[in-house]
Amino acid sequence: MQLYNKLSAKERAELIEKAGQERLTLSFYQYAKIGNPQILRDHLFLTWNALDVLGRIYVATEGINAQLSLPADRFNEFKTHLDTIDFLKDIRLNIAIEQDNMSFLKLKVKVRKKIVADGLEDDAFDVTNKGVHVAASQFNELIEDENTVLVDMRNHYESEIGHFKNAVTPDVDTFRESLDIIEEDLREFKEDKNLVMYCTGGIRCEKASAYFKHKGFKNVYQLEGGIIEYTRQVNDQKLENKFLGKNFVFDDRRAEKISEDVIANCHQCGAPCDTHVNCANEACHLLFIQCESCKEDMDNCCSTACKEIHALPYEEQKELRKGQGNSNDIFKKGRADYLPYKKDLRNIFETLKK
């Protein structure tokens, strides 16, 4: 019985190209109490592998978080299967704004301690005691209210290329960092301000809204379905789009264009640019923003040192990496000191306190 992926990304890409079928990229999440995540994990892998589903799925005792792609003509089969699972019946599926057949090249279904890492004890608060969900039209009204504080619950490299106008964008690397920072910096607004949050698809806001209610915030709201669902509703209902730039996504597309605004800059030359790339030096792999001109000049690398290593024969590169371990830059997102136009660290809450 096959319970794990056996094909490489290259082999899978060749099969997708040969099949010539259109694929759908989508995501969903659901908080629920799951007694044995491993049993559910194996069941999902066996069923979805047969449907040619590819993606990254996390299962935990607190629920499921899924980002995946599948052949468009098998969508109904997939949805029918979801409906056979009680806590996934009629779940909202966030269909990607921009489709790409190569968005995922492997099926990975993993059991995790949590579907959203938060650094909190499991019994710290009730994750089901969430904030008020609002659709795009009400969200637009709320964020124009002077009594509202709008907070981006994503990480700095996500909000750097796209965010809602007037949003507070915490300069954090992880979700777990943002919880205490936001609670501390907005503590004086707990009683009288509307705390409105948004993220990519809603999963981080779901947990954050419950956390901030637990911490004493009285008026907590979250954007239903996140930026993905907001964009769909804006397009379908002809609403004003208040999102600027791109929505960062965690697959090989890296981003979806929501508006024509380019609000970021190349980390190497400072030119307007919002395209994330990974450094071509495999020992570095830093995620950063790079324009086409710098991409050509730097041979897809983040620094001169990496460019020199990347120019070496591959076997020499492997020899250099032996026994060295990975560079810490692998875990960074545009933070390297040698990038002159990286996002500056700053206290983005100061204006709220004046």
pLDDT at site 297: 97
Which of 45, 64, 52 is CA-nearest to residue 101?
Answer: 52
Q: 140 and 234, same structural domain?
A: yes
Q: 210 and 176, same structural domain?
A: yes
Contact criterion met (CB below 8 Å) for 255 and 276: yes
Q: Which carries the bigger pLDDT value, residue 337 or residue 113? A: 113
Structure tokens at 52: 């040619």
Q: What would the mean pLDDT of 30-59 be, rounded to a whole number?
A: 95
Domain containing 19 — which CATH number?
Answer: 3.30.70.100
Q: What would the mean pLDDT of 114-143 be, rounded to a whole number?
A: 87
CA distance 235 to 237: 6
Lowest mean pLDDT among 105-114, 261-270, 337-346: 337-346
pLDDT in tens, 5-42: 778 888 889 989 998 899 999 999 999 999 999 999 99
Q: 94 and 27, same structural domain?
A: yes
Q: Is residue 178 part of a domain?
A: yes
CA distance 205 to 200: 9
Q: Residues of the chain with pLDDT > 70: what percent?
A: 93
pLDDT higher than 90, residue 159: yes
Q: 139 and 106, same structural domain?
A: no
Residue for token digits 């301690």? 113
- Predicted confidence band of residue 282 (pLDDT cuts 50, 70, 90): confident
Q: Is residue 56 part of a domain?
A: yes
Q: Is residue 117 part of a domain?
A: no
Q: Which carries the bigger pLDDT value, residue 124 or residue 307? A: 307
Q: Is residue 146 part of a domain?
A: yes
CA distance 258 to 229: 12
- Predicted confidence band of residue 264 (pLDDT cuts 50, 70, 90): very high
Give the SS3 label for residue 169.
coil
Q: 106 and 150, same structural domain?
A: no
| Beta pairing class for 162-164 and 276-278 | unpaired
CA distance 294 to 280: 13
Strands (E), the chain: 23-31, 54-60, 63-71, 94-95, 107-111, 132-134, 148-152, 162-164, 194-198, 219-223, 243-248, 255-257, 276-278, 287-289
Q: 156 and 192, same structural domain?
A: yes
pLDDT at site 59: 97
Q: 232 and 312, same structural domain?
A: no
Structure tokens at 288: 């950063």
- Strand ranges of the sheet holding 162-164, from the earlier edge strand across to the other edge: 162-164, 243-248, 255-257
pLDDT at site 335: 78
pLDDT in tens, 290-322: 999 999 999 999 999 999 999 999 888 888 877
Report the number of distinct structural domains present in the chain.
3
Residue for token digits 């009680």? 86
Structure tokens at 326: 């990975």
Lowest mean pLDDT among 209-213, 281-285, 303-307, 334-338: 334-338
Which of 282, 287, 307 is CA-nearest to residue 296?
Answer: 307
DSSP 339: -
Q: 235 and 304, same structural domain?
A: no
pLDDT higher than 60, residue 347: no
Q: Which of 239, 255, 279 is the last residue of a domain?
A: 239
Structure tokens at 90: 């009629």
Q: What would the mean pLDDT of 106-123 be, rounded to a whole number?
A: 86
Q: 28 and 101, same structural domain?
A: yes
Quote the domain boundaries for residue 32.
9-111
Which of 121, 117, 143, 80 is CA-nearest to residue 203?
Answer: 117
Q: Which of 186, 204, 239 is the last residue of a domain?
A: 239
For the chain, the average pLDDT equals 90
Amino acid making up residue 223: L
pLDDT in tens, 192-245: 999 999 999 999 999 999 999 999 999 999 999 999 999 999 999 999 999 999
Q: Using alpha carbons only, how large is the chain's radius of gyration in Å?
A: 21
Q: 98 and 187, same structural domain?
A: no
Which of 54, 222, 194 is CA-nearest to residue 133?
Answer: 222
Give the residues across from 288 on adjacent strands: 277
Domain containing 192 — which CATH number?
Answer: 3.40.250.10
Q: Which of 222, 239, 256 is the last residue of a domain?
A: 239
Contact criterion met (CB below 8 Å) for 342 and 270: no
Exposed, middle or buried by CB within 10 Å (0-12, 13-18, 19+), for 267? buried
pLDDT in tens, 62-91: 999 999 999 999 999 999 999 999 999 999
Q: 212 and 292, same structural domain?
A: no
pLDDT higher than 60, residue 345: no
Q: Is residue 55 part of a domain?
A: yes
pLDDT at site 258: 96
CA distance 53 to 21: 13
Q: Which carries the bigger pLDDT value, residue 288 or residue 330? A: 288
Q: Which carries the bigger pLDDT value, residue 44 or residue 332? A: 44
Active site residues: 199
Q: 219 and 138, same structural domain?
A: yes
